[in-house]
A and B are shown apart, each in its own frame.
Chain A
């Protein structure tokens, strides 16, 4: 099959790679209908982590073409959206809906232990420490634990809308949920990318009185006003702290969500030369702005170590700081329901549509922050090729090696 491969620092190419195979009884093979490019991949592209030839992409919607013998909830032909992270559904963490903390979501748990002290959930299209599963900018994807991570898309929900139930929507919703947004709250969201857009919309749907989105891209801010019902602040033009104080009666926002993701790690030349860790500008601003006793939620892929974190402020103001990669399966069924009811319309987040053969271009508007860009999406060229294998069941694959 064809797939978008990482070929070296900053180098991408569409190449012929072997078709995926069922490797475990809980696997399914999904034929990709849409796959979105995510800003979190930019640091991968820049050249740390992947091996040459690894397939990128982790947000996708598609059609089941093959299932393993242990799969119960899906059948060949089902249209499904697949959670970007891979979790088992049956460990202590998964049973408490902390799916991104899954103990069994990686094929190389020792790599996770070496990096984070513990194994964490896997993710498609990431290096081995994060699972070791090929990505979704491809014609087909192997989906481990398909009963846990794949969700049937209700009929009225389009591919372009459902696509975002894979990653951006559960991550954004989780921001509002972990922050404990309640009716009457003032909520501030840093970052008007796809995750921030959904975090803002989620805060509105959970009853927030005011939602203020902070970013520097006018087109993204306009989208947050139009689609999420948020007020906006361009941090290049206004004093964000003063504005947030004014808009919350001097209290500060009840909940602050950092949805800036990897972009937050921008570093000055001086810091790069001295090797100083990046400074978490948005989180720092959020900790300063938040009301006493409020919550600061940190989302997304951050550098492992940051500098100049206002720790004293956390204790002095009695803040709750929470973070997570997305616990997708906790939210995706609810999000698909809301999508089916038109409460959550996410198709506007797909701003560029490309055939798979042009997928290498998908990351350019993300990298350059091109005006109007939220999430480029790619689709394997029609007409759909036949399944890689005839739909079949195979004997259980137990106890390998």
Chain B
């Protein structure tokens, strides 16, 4: 379960390189790399479900969207701007939603689980895009970004792009390290074994439902973190963030990168972001280019890009 040597070095280099991006002073690239890191958090949060617990969720965007919308609501409706208040509230809300949706969807297994999670995501999509009170199909602008002030002096303003970028970087590093710990702990081993043979785990005495629900909630909280950061970076939320396209895209990212490795999906998120960026410039049919790349990886690298790296290990 330990990381291949080259991967460990690559992750360090990647983290340092990302930390240096703001030095370029280029607004576009800072925004681009910020978004890329948010996608990484999103993807590793789903990898816990798909790659470890074997729960293929097509409703993961629900938690991203709920947390992002709650931030907009707290800022616009209540004028709550301190991240010390909004961050815990948004994460707790995402976690509670995951508890409820997970509790209901985990009654189904296999493809039915996929369908139920998909249905929850779509329900929220329609709810938010068709309720004017919730912003409707246009979405909502966040009037005040999270800002931390002590005695009237602002010490952290996430409306500032560089500050937001730094916060995203820290969040990515912490999320990754947290998930590494979780999957290497007994809890992670139990999840893996449940994925392989759930029936046997039950006769060995494991209440497998509780483990799967715990994984679902933890994944939901981290997706909520990604949503919070996304809303902070862009100052804007919209109902498409709930849609199945978003959930599908993260799932593709996880599979492309290599599920069950954590670093694979993070790598997948980075690769897809870069590929999309350049394909978008080269041709208006860029989504076809990205699609072809995805098909090629799925056909020729069944374990994703990570499988390629692990395969080359001594």
Are these two chains actual partners, yes or no?
no
Residues of B within 8 A of A (CB): none
